[in-house]
Chain A
């Protein structure tokens, strides 16, 4: 490779790979080596990239091809990487450009969650408020002839509420469009890491009250949750803080994780049996637009915590015994495929591509233009 070109490639912020048609890495710049383990002169060890190159070579996928992939690092965290595969000028080789888009991804995730919360948490109460104003205005129109100043004031509020409603519609529209496209749940979070982050976030309150927090179970299984790490941590920390503030000084809080099928249940309780009062629980279980002030913690109310968990396909519920609330349980769907399943996904692509290639050679007229029924 020309020295000037190499100098330029070595300084690119995006990862750059030059891969031969046989899957051998001809060149990898430092940014590419940071993203994934590659050695120039050796074969690619990334099956996901090999299967893509195979599909391109067989003509199933046209160049340039761009896709996103989650790459796991040694510390179990995940990089979200955007990959573009291009034909090299030499034609027989491939250029692979990789860009770590964790920050953009997280931003999109959080914007999506925020939009969802605006849509869910603001729209309904505001609409109820505005309908109350409209009702009041209608009553004054009918009965308030004798109090002109008050009647005018209500008329003004009603007129302004129309403007507010119009703006809310615009915000709702924007939120709805963000909601449709945002990825709430693309970050890969090992459950122990999620619990650890939540405990760390609530650490100030935990230390202040002299509470001991322990975590039981599933260290080996390490169930994976897909979600917005920030929001889920906040949701868990929100409840922990709430519980700590109502726990006797020096008490214990136990966090227990158990898996049931494709779901993991995270139960949080304390040895004093302290939990939210029943009237609070009833309010919590009511529609989310209730009065969440009593649950304020970490700027996320528990009602909002429940919303966040539900956004991720989970649930948040109370366990009651003899009418007393004993624990709160966070149910999370475990969305991550196992290593075996990931391998199977790759195997499926390769085997399917090979079979399809054979079929297309044997029955060229039946694919793309013919009757698929006749393929057997």
Chain B
């Protein structure tokens, strides 16, 4: 929850993907003066930035090399009461129903399956009632 000190700060979106090009493309889609975009290229880096930046939305790729994949970051976000306002959009190449269920079990708000268009991302944000303030 935002306190009085940061009421005027723009909403933050954290983009997490180990693919540099994809991260840039997602960032470009959301480039907006009223949104602060933060990037991370691994699960561990994402988790550190989540704790530091308290983003409103986390676009989270599942398949990332490392000791912490997207599902683990999602689980941590969703089990931390201090991050109750943070919404998670899981982005993955896996489209099997079991994987989607796993994402949901870990608390993901939206599940985007690759390949997807920028319009799906915008729809996802709309579904989360996200409007840059």
Chain B residues whose CB sits within 8 angstroms of the CB of A367 once the complex forms: 28-29, 31
A348 touches B116 (CB 8 A): yes
- One of B32, B66, B118 near A226 (C-beta < 8 A): B66
**Distance to closest chain A CB from B46 (angstroms):** 12
What's the interface size class on B, roughly?
35 or more
Chain A residues whose CB sits within 8 angstroms of the CB of B22 once the complex forms: 345, 348-349, 352
A55 touches B24 (CB 8 A): yes
B126 at the interface (CB under 8 A from A): yes
- One of B68, B93, B116 near A345 (C-beta < 8 A): B93
* B18-34 CB contacts (< 8 Å) to partner A: 19-22, 24-25, 28-33
A8 at the interface (CB under 8 A from B): no
A337, closest chain B residue (CB): B63
Instruction: Give CA–CA (A61, B119) in the complex, Å.
Output: 20
* A163-178 CB contacts (< 8 Å) to partner B: none
B114 touches A356 (CB 8 A): no
Instruction: Give CA–CA (A52, B19) in the complex, Å.
Output: 10
B33 touches A333 (CB 8 A): no
B69 at the interface (CB under 8 A from A): yes
* B35-75 CB contacts (< 8 Å) to partner A: 42, 44, 48, 63-69, 72
**Distance to closest chain B CB from A92 (angstroms):** 21
Chain A residues whose CB sits within 8 angstroms of the CB of B65 once the complex forms: 183, 185-186, 226, 335-336
Instruction: Give CA–CA (A336, B64) in the complex, Å.
Output: 8
Contact mask A329-341 → B, CB, 8 Å, 1/0? 0000101110001
Count of A-B residue pairs with CB < 8 Å = 114
The answer to whether residues A373 and B131 also contact, given A185-B65, A352-B116 and a CB cut-off of 8 A, is: yes
What's the interface size class on A, roughly?
35 or more
Instruction: Give CA–CA (A349, B42) in the complex, Å.
Output: 18
- One of B20, B25, B30, B66 near A353 (C-beta < 8 A): B25
Chain A residues whose CB sits within 8 angstroms of the CB of B33 once the complex forms: 369
Chain A residues whose CB sits within 8 angstroms of the CB of B84 once the complex forms: none
B117 at the interface (CB under 8 A from A): yes
Chain A residues whose CB sits within 8 angstroms of the CB of B66 once the complex forms: 183-186, 226, 313, 335
A376 touches B24 (CB 8 A): no
Chain A residues whose CB sits within 8 angstroms of the CB of B131 once the complex forms: 373
* B85-133 CB contacts (< 8 Å) to partner A: 93-94, 98, 114-119, 122-123, 125-126, 131-132
Residues in chain A within 8 A of chain B (CB atoms): 51-52, 55, 60-61, 65, 67, 180, 183-186, 226, 261, 311-313, 333, 335-337, 341, 344-345, 347-349, 351-353, 355-356, 359, 367-373, 375-376
Residues in chain B within 8 A of chain A (CB atoms): 19-22, 24-25, 28-33, 42, 44, 48, 63-69, 72, 93-94, 98, 114-119, 122-123, 125-126, 131-132
Q: A336-B65, A368-B28 are in contact. List 12 more A-B contacts (CB 8 A).
A: A60-B25, A61-B24, A183-B66, A313-B68, A337-B63, A341-B63, A347-B115, A348-B22, A352-B116, A368-B32, A373-B131, A375-B122
